[in-house]
């Protein structure tokens, strides 16, 4: 969203009306008359500006094209989905469902951000975008409509309970979808950690390597005192 300043036209119309009214009521024969009329119009314009200031409006920013039509569509659909979730959160009074919708909104935003930053991950969320997300919104919209009826009928009550029981499963699925986007990175990091650990071990920089080196050091040789022929110990002076 970006802020746009809308200038009020009322001060301009007020100043123009002052000129017209002054011309009708007073003569405009001399330069002084025009100066007085201009002064009056200026004063009225300033007062009108103070009473009717400019307004600031928030308007959605036009999405910038990425050069990838499928990615642009994902970004646009993602923004619409998050806006729909925010509307549902505002409409639905149940605090538990509302909190769960907020969680879905957070997860969806993170999923879209990851794919926007890494377009090569776009194929991983095609089913999410084409089925899971729109179906979730359809279910929540139905829940919202049923809740607004104010009727505790069998169909409405049963359906709303089913949706409430399903929400935890939906959140888990969204969390899994986000986690799957980091699968390749997790594998790369694991590989880097193994290589790093092996290199440090070869250089003797790890605790295991130092401990092993200490164990492999030969023990100092012990010299036995000389013995006499009868097996006793001989003391040398």
Q: What pTM does this model have?
A: 0.61
Residue 150 gets the label, from left (phi > 0), alpha (psi -120 to 50) or beta, of left
The CATH number for 168's domain is 1.20.5
Residue 43 resides in a domain: yes
The pLDDT value recorded for residue 159 is 94
Report the alpha-carbon distance of residue 146 to residue 158 in Å, rounded: 11
Say if residue 73 is in the same domain as residue 52.
no
Q: What CA–CA distance (Å, rounded) separates 195 from 200?
A: 9
Evaluate if residue 1 carries a pLDDT over 70.
no
Using alpha carbons, select from 1, 5, 2 the residue that is nearest to residue 56: 5
Residue 206 lies in a domain: no
75 lies in the same domain as 175: yes
pLDDT at 74: 92
Summarised one tens digit per residue, pLDDT across range 191-216 is: 888 888 888 888 887 776 555 555 65
Q: What is the pLDDT of residues 68-83, one digit of tens each?
A: 888 999 999 999 999 9
The answer to whether position 191 is within a domain reads no
Hunting for tokens 């250089």 — which residue is that?
203
Q: What angle do CA 100, 120, 171 make, to 5 degrees?
A: 10
Q: 57 with 1: CB under 8 angstroms?
A: no
Q: Is residue 176 domain-shared with residue 76, that is, in the same domain?
A: yes
Q: Write out the residue range of the structural domain in which residue 114 sits.
A: 69-185
Q: Give yes or no: residues 45 and 91 share one domain.
A: no
- C-alpha to C-alpha distance for 134 and 127, rounded to whole angstroms: 10
pLDDT over 90, % of the chain: 43
Count of structural domains, the chain: 2
Angle formed at CA 112 by CA 96 and CA 126, multiple of 5 degrees: 100
């Amino acid at each position: 969203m970006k802020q746009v300043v809308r200038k009020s036209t009322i001060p301009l119309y007020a100043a123009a009306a002052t000129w017209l009214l002054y011309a009708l009521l007073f003569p405009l024969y001399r330069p002084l008359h025009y100066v007085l009329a201009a002064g009056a119009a200026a004063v009225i314009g300033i007062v009108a500006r103070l009473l009717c200031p400019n307004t600031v409006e928030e308007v959605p920013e036009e999405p910038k094209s990425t050069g990838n039509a499928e990615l642009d569509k994902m970004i646009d659909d993602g923004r619409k989905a998050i806006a729909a979730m925010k509307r549902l959160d505002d409409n639905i009074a149940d605090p538990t469902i509302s909190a769960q919708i907020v969680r879905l909104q957070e997860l969806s935003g993170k999923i879209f951000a990851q794919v926007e930053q890494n377009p090569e991950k776009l194929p991983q969320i095609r089913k999410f975008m084409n089925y899971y997300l729109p179906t979730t919104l359809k279910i929540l919209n139905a829940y919202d409509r049923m809740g607004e009826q104010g009727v505790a009928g069998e169909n409405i009550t049963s359906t709303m309970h089913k949706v409430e029981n399903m929400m935890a499963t939906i959140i888990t699925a969204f969390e899994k979808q986000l986690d799957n986007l980091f699968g390749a990175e997790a594998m790369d990091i694991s590989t880097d950690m193994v290589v790093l650990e092996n290199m440090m071990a070869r250089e003797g920089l790890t605790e295991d390597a130092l401990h092993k080196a200490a164990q492999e050091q030969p023990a100092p040789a012990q010299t036995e005192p000389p013995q006499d022929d009868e097996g006793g110990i001989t003391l040398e002076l």
